[in-house]
Amino acid sequence: MSKIIGIDLGTTHSLVAVIEAGLPFVIADADGLRLTPSVVHFSAPSTVLVGRPAQRMRSIDPQHTFYSIKRLMGLRASDLSTTEHRVAYTVLGEGAQPVRLAYGDRSLSPEEISAEILKKLKADAEASLGETITRAVITVPAYFNDAQRNATIKAGELAGLTVERIVNEPTAAALAYGLHRLNEKSKIAVYDLGGGTFDISILELNEGVFQVLATHGNTRLGGDDLDQALVRFLAKKILSESSLDILTQPSLLARVREAAELAKIQLSSESTVEIALPFLTPEFSFSFPLTRDELERITREIISSTRAHCFRALSDAHLEAKDLDQVILVGGQTRMPLVRECVSEWFQCRDFEATPGSIRIGSDYHRAEGPMLNTSQNPDEAIALGAAIQAGILSGGFKDMLLLDVTPLSLGLETLGGLMNVLIPRNSSIPTKAGEVFSTGIDHQPSMLIHVLQGERERARDNWSLGRFVIEFDRAPKGVPRVGVQYEIDANGVLHVLARDIKTGREKIVEMKSAVDVGDEEVQRMVEESVEHAWEDINARRWIETKLRAQETILATRKGLSDYRDELDEVSRTSIEHALLEVENLIRAEDPSTQSGEVPALKKAHAQLDEATQPLADLMMDRATTALLRQRGLI
């Protein structure tokens, strides 16, 4: 069996790791470097630079240098109109077309650009191991949706790799930290602040199996944002000293950004750095002493914005910080002392010495109070090492250990009245399957539209539309056709939807490959909005359900009235007409923008209609009984 490599395809950096002699290690490139900047430079006609050489081109030839490309993976052009993406390329394509990026007279997809990074990692691994590599495990942020996961698989294929498994980054990190050696039922938080993404996940160890209890995060938050904040601060200083506006000059901006990031990194171990930018213009050199305190003042708000996600993940997992055993830190940005302080404070961690090899596990670990902040692993390498461990498990070299991930958002389908019917709730462990039987709401409907939705909102229209397809069946009165719908999420997080007409066994299976209609920042916004709109959503659901029941009664009553109009006494008829009007008016008064109305009033009017139709119902029952008796020859 050929070796499987583990790849951390990061927003700012990528790494490749492998298991050798039973141990995972990160592979260095020809220059002895283990972190490959996720930067690609194309120069005409066909020269491609990847990593550090491409990084250098960022300030010299920014138009042909692609970075943070992970942010664009699996997106459609229309996603970008609503997405604040900070990638400075010319984006081609319109509407539902996949994003393509202009370069010279050619255009490239994000997958093609990512594939260049993967090709380099593959080549580094082959040079180091002395064998051809064709299989890989690649990690993605927990928030990646179907389209983004599929784009990652595609990038692997373009690089000549079979992607054996897509693994969520926090799950890989926990493996690398060796947390499977903790006591049973240990609970762990993985706080991952990288260059471009933030994830917080809560895991539980159960019979040697990692289970992700909850995951939260922001796919558009990371070290880059801190750099950006510092750049803005420096831009103001530069402007005040020289009236030079670097924000409008890409090549100067790139130089300042590089200096800002370097200063930020140095301030993790030093208390002051001198930011020196000689000859920004022939007449102007800039230099500024930046203190750690000042950097913390500039960036505190960005770091604090991760706090709410931490608490939401805990609450989704039905846990409090004190229930956790460990909090592990992943991602280069967690080297910043302020990040460690904040995380330690939020999770009420007890003091912990960050000496590698000092993880206290098993029985010698007695928690005084609060979880342990575990910083024993190199935060840049943990994910790649975990990917290698997963690769080792797949190729059989490592003891079997099942990995369970969770779905970041609920999956469901649209039902009558435009409501979201959840089949697989958010934070379900994957792989998973769930199904339900649905019927028709209209007589003689020839088919049913399966509208696949992802999200946390009560109304279909507020969720993501992942796709639609139609299943046909024999026409029959409403409620008679029965269609079983099953959702299955495979180990890679890809959704397969099956719809089967129970009567004929006719079925359709659709893999949800299409890009979603909303940008990836919307994933996180979705969860926030569901909390924000919880009250309004519940009201809308109650309204729609009440309205549907009332409409059923209206239909039945109208039919009864027309069939038995002459037999019904005047008083009953008037009172039914009056009650009907009352219900119809309330339904008509629905506010179209919120799809909501007066639930208690409608319920009351519906009850009054029920009461008013009693004589009609009695009459109908009487006639039906007579007809039946007559039919059977009993009268």
Residue 186 interacting with ligand AMP (CB under 6 A):
no
Residue 268 contacts ligand AMP per CB under 6 A: yes
Q: Which is nearer to ligand AMP, 269 or 625 (CB)?
A: 269
Written as six digits, the tokens of 335 are: 């080297």
Q: Residue 491 CB: number of other CB atoms within 10 A?
A: 15
Q: Measure the CA–CA gap between 193 and 307, rounded to whole angstroms.
A: 12
Angle between helices 250-266 and 292-304 (to 10 degrees): 100
Whether 261 is a known active-site residue: answer: no
13 binds ligand AMP (CB under 6 A): yes
Minimum CB separation of residue 261 from ligand AMP in Å reads: 5
* Bridging pattern class, strands 209-218 and 403-406: parallel
37 binds ligand AMP (CB under 6 A): no
Q: Which two tokens stand for residue 325?
A: 């055993």
Q: Annotated catalytic, 8?
A: yes
Tell me how many residues contact ligand AMP (CB under 6 A): 18
Comparing CB distances to ligand AMP, the nearer of 331 and 370 is 331
Catalytic residue among 111, 192, 261, 537: 192
Q: What are φ and ψ of residue 151, in 5° steps?
A: -65, -35
* Binder of ligand AMP out of 7, 9, 12, 295 (CB under 6 A): 12
- Among 194, 217, 370, 597, contact with ligand AMP (rule: CB under 6 A): 194
| 102 part of the interface to ligand AMP, by CB under 6 A | no
- Residue of 169, 261, 325, 380 marked catalytic: 169
Q: Is 610 exposed, middle or buried (0-12, 13-18, 19+ CB in 10 A)?
A: middle
Paired tokens of 90: 């010319």
Side-chain half-sphere CA neighbours of 198 within 13 A: 26
The three-state (H, E, C) secondary structure of 119-186, written as one string: HHHHHHHHHHHCCCCCEEEEEECCCCCHHHHHHHHHHHHHCCCEEEEEEEHHHHHHHHCCHHHCCCCC
Member of 336, 515, 586, 609 binding ligand AMP (CB under 6 A): 336
Any contact of residue 264 with ligand AMP (CB under 6 A)?
A: yes
The answer to whether residue 331 forms part of the interface with ligand AMP (CB under 6 A) is yes
* 529 in catalytic set: no
Q: Is 100 in the site for ligand AMP (CB under 6 A)?
A: no
- Which of 8-16, 303-311, 390-398, 559-567 is the region at the interface with ligand AMP (rule: CB under 6 A)? 8-16
Evaluate whether 605 touches 583 at the Cβ level (below 8 Å): yes
Least separation in angstroms between residue 234's CB and ligand AMP is: 15
Active-site entry in 70, 119, 122, 264: 70
Asked if 296 is part of the footprint of ligand AMP (rule: CB under 6 A), the reply reads: no
Minimum CB distance to ligand AMP, residue 269 (Å):
7
Q: How far is the CB of 465 from ligand AMP (least distance, A)?
A: 31
Q: Is the dihedral of CA 250, 256, 259, 260 positive or negative?
A: negative
Instruction: Give residue number: closest CB to ligand AMP.
Output: 223
How far is residue 372's CA from residue 347's CA, in Å, rounded to a whole number? 9
Q: Which is nearer to ligand AMP, 81 or 269 (CB)?
A: 269
Q: 216 — phi, psi (to 5°)? A: -145, 170
Q: Measured between alpha carbons, how far is 377 from 335 in angstroms, rounded to an integer? A: 11
What residues between 369 and 398 interact with ligand AMP by CB under 6 A? 380
Told to judge if 192 belongs to the known catalytic residues of this protein, a careful annotator would answer yes
Task: Give the interface segment with ligand AMP, choosing from 10-18, 404-412, 581-589, 601-609 (CB under 6 A).
Answer: 10-18
CB of 356 to ligand AMP, least distance (A): 15
Strand ranges for 334-458 from DSSP E: 372-374, 403-406, 411-415, 419-424, 429-430, 432-439, 447-454
d(CA 236, CA 155) in angstroms, rounded, equals 40
36 binds ligand AMP (CB under 6 A): no
Asked if 483 touches ligand AMP (CB under 6 A), the answer is no
Q: Which tokens hold the place of 252?
A: 């100067």
Show which residues are catalytic.
8, 70, 169, 192
Binding site for ligand AMP (CB under 6 A): 10-13, 194-195, 223-224, 261, 264-265, 268, 331-333, 335-336, 380
